[in-house]
Amino acid sequence: MTTIRRVLLLLFFSGGLTSVSQAQTPFPANVHRVVFLGNSITYAGTYVTDIDAYFRLRYPNQSIEFINVGLPSETVSGLSEEGHADGKFPRPDLHERLERVLKLTKPDFVFACYGMNDGIYLPLDESRFQKFRDGINWLHAEVVKLGVPIVHLTPPIYDEQRGSSKGYAAVLDRYSDWLLSQKSTANWSVIDLHYPMKTYLEAHRKVDATFGINGFALANDGVHPGDVGHWIMAKSILLGMGEKAVASAPDLAASVAMVPNSGQIIKLIAARQSLMKDAWLTATGHKRPGMNVGLPLTEAQAKAAELDAQIRKLLP
């Protein structure tokens, strides 16, 4: 990686939210493939779609493919609780598939969001915490040695009012704190999703008593955010990249409302993301049972190209 590119990336992601304001776009011009690694929250994909749509609508002249290869249940720690999935299968481990994913997707940029599953829903334990740190350090090294920048995302929150794993919210606080500390101790690029979600949840619980005994929730099961939670994730990433225009936007639609046909374009981008995430997962391979079998990659890419053509016609 060139010195100039390192400086650009440091400016983009070292923690300042205003650093990109003088750049034409948040990504360097040579970034064409951005890969998202993660678990079921990433696989659900709403925050990835939001980011994809935002960039397609706000920066139509920069061609970027946003590739979602999130895998439900996955960890980077390699841990799995006893009886996971009613004993049907252990949690998949990123170590098993990362090499194939990087080889086939050929990313120019990587976002990685792990932590939610890595403490296997048990109270804080130093050995499990070390497994998470080891896994994240390994992931970081594997991506960086290819000359590809990686941005780590802190895990979303665990809501103990909706989930059954008491004490797990504190585990994810600790995992997030460690990731955030790597910005200064290891000069890593880290964007915080965890605490913006926690702040939003706590603020709404204080003022909104219309949701019954359990209160307002971003994730009905305590783990998997709905659309509002995914937008907070997407907005946190966009703000971390310097996109200050989204700061007051309550959702994706509001952030791109000034672009003609934005609603139609968002639907087409969501359809493209849904099509391609299963195709990429099937093509790169994994050991998790019960996943959708995606179309062969070349067939999926041909269908995606048709959607892209429709999007281009709608863009101003």
Q: What integer is the mean pLDDT of 173-188?
A: 98
Which of 60-64, 136-140, 170-174 shows the lowest per-residue confidence on average (mean pLDDT)? Answer: 60-64
The pLDDT value recorded for residue 14 is 39
Q: Is the model's pLDDT at 161 over the cut of 70?
A: yes
Give the pLDDT confidence of 115-143 residue by residue, as tens digits: 999 999 999 999 999 999 999 999 999 99
Give the pLDDT confidence of 82-97 residue by residue, as tens digits: 999 999 999 999 999 9
Q: Which residue has the tokens 């780590």?
A: 152
Higher-pLDDT residue of 29 and 4 is 29
Q: Which residue has the tokens 């925050």?
A: 47
10 Å CB burial of residue 3 (0-12, 13-18, 19+) is: exposed
Q: Domain ranges in the chain? A: 30-68+87-311
Give the pLDDT confidence of 96-116 residue by residue, as tens digits: 999 999 999 999 999 999 999
The pLDDT value recorded for residue 207 is 81
Q: Is the model's pLDDT at 7 over the cut of 80?
A: no
The pLDDT value recorded for residue 213 is 55
- Mean pLDDT score across all residues of the chain: 91
Q: Is the model's pLDDT at 78 over the cut of 50?
A: yes
Q: What integer is the mean pLDDT of 212-220?
A: 81
Q: Is this structure's pTM higher than 0.75?
A: yes
Q: Could you tell me where the DSSP H helices lie in the chain?
A: 3-13, 40-44, 46-58, 98-105, 126-144, 168-185, 194-207, 227-240, 252-255, 262-284, 297-314
Q: Is the model's pLDDT at 23 over the cut of 90?
A: no
The pLDDT value recorded for residue 164 is 92
The pLDDT value recorded for residue 19 is 34
176 with 116: CB under 8 angstroms?
no
Q: 30-68+87-311: which CATH topology?
A: Rossmann fold (3.40.50)
The pLDDT value recorded for residue 206 is 83
> Distance between the two ends of the chain, CA-based, in angstroms?
35
Residue type, position 235, single letter: K
